[in-house]
Structure 1
Amino acid sequence: MVAVLSIGRGNAKTALSAGLALGSVMGEWDKQPKREILLAARNRDQAKTAFNFLVGFVESLPKAKRERFIIRRGSRLEVEYTGNGGGLARCIAADGRSILGGAPTLAILDERAAWEREKGDTLENAILSGLGKRGGKALIISTSAPDDANTFSRWLDEPPPGTYVQEHRPAFGLPADDLESLKIANPGAVEGIGASLEWLQAQARRAIARGGSALSSFRNLNRNERVSTEDRSVLITVDEWLSAEVKLDDLPAREGPCILGVDLGGSRSMSAAAAYWPVTGRMEAWGSFPANPSLGDRGASDGVGTRYVEMNNRDELFVLGEATVPTGPWLSEIVKRLDGEVPACIVGDRFRHAEFAEAMQKAGLRVPFIWRGFGWKDGAEDIERFRRALFDGEVKTLPSLLLRSAFSDAVTLIDPAGNHKLAKARSLGRIDAAAAAVLAVAEGARRMARPAAKARAAEWV
């Protein structure tokens, strides 16, 4: 009933939509009388572009067929065909009220990922509910959305029965100017449709040189990758993090107070903890997933292959619980991995206050808890303290695939004042371990910066 196509910008999506609408309105593959075709776009300007494609295709037909068309411009953008039982194609904007009462035989939702959330969902629901009246079909076509929560992303990731999905998205982590992956996202370029491969590579190199939102936009629009286009910067580079990894013989001892940074995951995400000893600079980190789905299946759905299985084999990632990670037993397991050492404090997200309180009670931990926010205020300070400690050589850890993976997916969003807060580089990324590390190291840096309290001698008065 529904076909979903995801492909890069410039691969003739709107022209394809108009061509399918023309064939349907003429009854080339649907002989129902009084056919009704809807070509829905984000706004009127985009709807007009689709309408102009449709009119251009009509004008290219032989005169005998062209004379059977009635084209209406103005408040309504319609193309009516009087032959073969009749048909009407309408180009509309994303406003659900404009199609109430319709009974479309074909609906084409163009650039679905760019629609406004509320109005777009209203229009989509109204269209799909009307398809059943006459056995209609729908085509949802767009460039990739910037995140998993977008309705178009959900069509791709969780297609309901009766849905065909075709997605032209390259593997994650490749250079932006990689030729073969550009071909995957832009199959039309090989056939002379849209931008050439040479132009795409030149634009990719320009975006790489500029970085930030320019690179994110290129990946999202031209490479069809599911990445956010907000202003962003990397948290740390690969080389900067590798400087903190040392061999076992060079790893500092567990001395002094232990700071435990914790990022509790939700029902589907990872829970992670990072232990940091600020006196010596030693850091250890662990992550956890529930057992269902398996680590192999999670790796496939997150686009990282067997990475989670490898982390499990290295004892950096463990499985606990069935559908969700139980917070109390999980926190107890983390403390066990400290060989019984009780952390001096636990640092976590203030918005998970109730969950942390319950977890600490179940784990039998009676230690101070320090609440930190992940927004601009607390986040900017914690990120800056973490970077300073790392660059000054105050963070040392064994090579960790868990932390490498987390930091490779971790970026910072930048507000107009230049403040940073932690975010994902891609929607399917797992940055929980990086968040836990930032919390632990930042709190350790604050403690080390405080002057030591001097004991006052007793005085007799």
Structure 2
Amino acid sequence: MSAERAITFLEGLKIPEGPHAGKPLRLAGFQKQFVVGALAPSNMVAALSIGRGNAKTALAAGLALGAVIGEWDKQPRREVIFAARNRDQAKIAFNFVCGYVGGLPKAKRDQFQIRRGSRLEVEFAGAGGGLARCVAADGRSILGGAPVLAILDERAAWEKDKGDELENGILSGLGKRGGRALIISTSAPDDANSFSRWLDAPPPGTYTQEHRPAPGLPADDLESLLVANPGALEGIGSSPEWLLAQARRAIARGGSALSSFRNLNRNERVAADNRSVLVTVDEWLSAEVAPDALPPREGECILGVDLGGSRSMSAAALFWPRTGRLEAIASFAGNPSLADRGAADGVGSRYVEMKERGELSVLGENVVPAGPWLASIIKLADDATISCIVGDRFRHAEFLEAMQSAGLRVPFIARGMGFRDGSEDIERFRSALFERKIKVSPSLLLRSAFADAITLIDPAGNHKVTKSRSCGRIDAACAAILAVGEGRRRVARPAKQARAALWV
């Protein structure tokens, strides 16, 4: 009932700005879907993630105006909050409300008082009275409030500590009057962001609506662009032609321009700060070839291994330096299930999909047994000539035990994962990738790992891999870096020439 009243109210408003200013507001299908979910009696919080320019703030502002007037909630002295990282950001939603007020009939419009000074407020003097106000990300400024509606705008961009403090202050006040919170934003740059956690692990009473395309697709893929921008086909925001043109411009410029386009316009979880990315999605995609176009397994094979712990993924990468062929496989223990692991890691059904593609296996009950797992990797390598195994030097003893259990008698090369060894391996891996010396068949395992991996940079400019920005798994990426790094070192070494025999 509340959703029906809200939709009727919204479609009675006039568009306040843009090329269609003054025309009646018409909700698109995805907007109606969000209103119905947000105002369902069982929900207290509604989270919407969608590409920039799809009128998410305008929609939330319209709902805020309806809440101030009391269209579906007749409580007296209604309070609505616009919350954002700073005052200027909150002012965007505030200005939309003011624009909607300006399009109301004069009798209704005269019941509003708008304050634009030190306080940004819209006060309604009609039946029951209502007040909408702006607050910035300082939790202390909201203590004691009792809103019937709160809009948390561009939540992914809030500072972590102050943002979480403000969010907690708002949510703690919603229960006083049965209030609701609308958390709206484009995608955060990583899975660990508070906004991402709302979408990936929503608590009871939360409605989520995320318009995010599948990972690893080209930036100018139109179908996935329309997934992130559903308003483009309904006259809202950017047109499909404009989105395609911007995608191609971002591809041509590369770097941070491409990362920003993926994050803001494609609504992907991509760090816009290109310096911290191990490799961009597009850089990795350049290494993928069709399975029948893979180079042969010729020459020596380098096996890079990232051994998992009690609950971690174990991953292995096979690299043939002579041809550049790269293969990767990973395993989890059987308990918990892959579906439960995916839910806990915030990646949905990704692990199940990897298993169906043959890229991920299940071995052991609670821990992946290192010896049998390594033996299964050797079996996968088939007739390949494995010349060495490369792994973390801090797991040296475990590697030796696993190799003995698997009956594998090849040299073990210990590499550190810090700045000293890690920086060299990363640079060798990147150079091989950029020079098209790596060829791999499309792999969801590797795409996911490289999308989640970033690097920390020390004052001297050295890099080491970290997964601090993600809840996903980067083990396969680490194994690939170890294998390719060692392979490139071997290729770079001058070939030893045998001495000519001397007859005495």
The corresponding residue for 2:171 is 128
Match of 1:194 among 237, 244, 266: 237
The corresponding residue for 1:436 is 479
What CA distance in whole angstroms lies between the structure 1 residues aligned with 2:485 and 2:311?
27
Deviation (angstroms), 1:174? 2.8
Question: For structure 2, which runs of at least 5 residues remain unmatched after alignment?
Answer: 1-43, 380-384, 406-410, 497-504
What CA distance in whole angstroms lies between the structure 2 residues aligned with 1:138 and 1:419?
43
1:105-124 matches, within 5 Å, as: 105-124=148-167
Q: Give CA-to-partner distance per residue, 1:351-391, whole Å, 9 cap, x none.
A: xx4xx26745874869866242255x533421343466789
Q: Give CA-to-partner distance per residue, 1:386-412, whole Å, 9 cap, x none.
A: 466789999899x79577657875887
Does structure 1 conserve the Cα–Cα contact (< 8 Å) formed by 2:330 and 2:361? Answer: yes
Does structure 2 conserve the Cα–Cα contact (< 8 Å) formed by 1:251 and 1:396? Answer: no
The corresponding residue for 1:238 is 287
1:121-270 matches, within 5 Å, as: 121-231=164-274, 232=277, 233=280, 234=283, 237-238=286-287, 245-247=294-296, 251-252=298-299, 260-265=303-308, 270=313
Equivalent AA in structure 2 for residue 3 of structure 1: A
Deviation (angstroms), 1:54? 1.6
1:12 aligns with 2:55: yes
What CA distance in whole angstroms lies between the structure 1 residues aligned with 2:442 and 2:298?
13
Are the structure 2 counterparts of residues 33 and 331 from structure 1 closer, same or farther at C-alpha, using a change threshold of 3 Å? farther
In structure 1, the residue corresponding to 2:54 is in which secondary structure? coil
Mean alpha-carbon deviation: is it higher for 282-291 or for 6-15? Answer: 282-291
In structure 2, the residue corresponding to 1:94 is in which secondary structure? coil
Are the structure 2 counterparts of residues 332 and 392 from structure 1 closer, same or farther at C-alpha, using a change threshold of 3 Å? farther
1:378 aligns with 2:418: no
TM-score by length of 2: 0.72
Equivalent AA in structure 1 for residue 112 of structure 2: F
Are the structure 2 counterparts of residues 391 and 139 from structure 1 closer, same or farther at C-alpha, using a change threshold of 3 Å? closer
Equivalent AA in structure 1 for residue 209 of structure 2: Q
In structure 1, the residue corresponding to 2:170 is in which secondary structure? helix
The corresponding residue for 1:458 is none
What CA distance in whole angstroms lies between the structure 2 residues aligned with 1:288 and 1:39?
46
What CA distance in whole angstroms lies between the structure 1 residues aligned with 2:437 and 2:222?
40
Deviation (angstroms), 1:24? 0.4
Deviation (angstroms), 1:179? 2.5
Does structure 2 conserve the Cα–Cα contact (< 8 Å) formed by 1:270 and 1:288? Answer: yes
Does structure 2 conserve the Cα–Cα contact (< 8 Å) formed by 1:113 and 1:143? Answer: yes
What CA distance in whole angstroms lies between the structure 2 residues aligned with 1:284 and 1:202?
35
What CA distance in whole angstroms lies between the structure 2 residues aligned with 1:261 and 1:207?
34
1:86 aligns with 2:129: yes
The corresponding residue for 2:355 is 309
Q: Percent sequence identity over matched residues?
A: 64
Deviation (angstroms), 1:219? 1.3
Does structure 1 conserve the Cα–Cα contact (< 8 Å) formed by 2:68 and 2:124? Answer: yes
Does structure 2 conserve the Cα–Cα contact (< 8 Å) formed by 1:105 and 1:135? Answer: yes
Equivalent AA in structure 2 for residue 28 of structure 1: E
Deviation (angstroms), 1:280? 11
Match of 1:59 among 102, 105, 113: 102
Does structure 2 conserve the Cα–Cα contact (< 8 Å) formed by 1:410 and 1:434? Answer: no
TM-score by length of 1: 0.78
1:291-440 matches, within 5 Å, as: 291-292=334-335, 294-295=337-338, 301=347, 304=350, 307-312=353-358, 317-322=360-365, 325-326=367-368, 329-331=369-371, 333-335=373-375, 337-338=377-378, 346-348=390-392, 353=394, 356=395, 359-360=398-399, 363=402, 370-373=414-417, 375=419, 377-386=420-429, 401=443, 405=447, 409=451, 431-440=474-483
Equivalent AA in structure 2 for residue 334 of structure 1: L
Equivalent AA in structure 2 for residue 308 of structure 1: M
Does structure 1 conserve the Cα–Cα contact (< 8 Å) formed by 2:453 and 2:466? Answer: yes
What CA distance in whole angstroms lies between the structure 1 residues aligned with 2:323 and 2:231?
56
In structure 1, the residue corresponding to 2:122 is in which secondary structure? strand
Equivalent AA in structure 1 for residue 214 of structure 2: A
Deviation (angstroms), 1:172? 2.4
In structure 1, the residue corresponding to 2:147 is in which secondary structure? coil
What CA distance in whole angstroms lies between the structure 2 residues aligned with 1:317 and 1:431?
13
Are the structure 2 counterparts of residues 369 and 422 from structure 1 closer, same or farther at C-alpha, using a change threshold of 3 Å? same
Aligned residue pairs total 434
In structure 2, the residue corresponding to 1:287 is in which secondary structure? strand
Does structure 2 conserve the Cα–Cα contact (< 8 Å) formed by 1:413 and 1:421? Answer: yes
What CA distance in whole angstroms lies between the structure 2 residues aligned with 1:358 and 1:4?
47
What CA distance in whole angstroms lies between the structure 2 residues aligned with 1:371 and 1:72?
63
Deviation (angstroms), 1:445? 4.9
Are the structure 2 counterparts of residues 365 and 118 from structure 1 closer, same or farther at C-alpha, using a change threshold of 3 Å? farther
Deviation (angstroms), 1:192? 2.0
The corresponding residue for 1:30 is 73
The corresponding residue for 1:456 is none
Mean alpha-carbon deviation: is it higher for 264-273 or for 67-76? Answer: 264-273
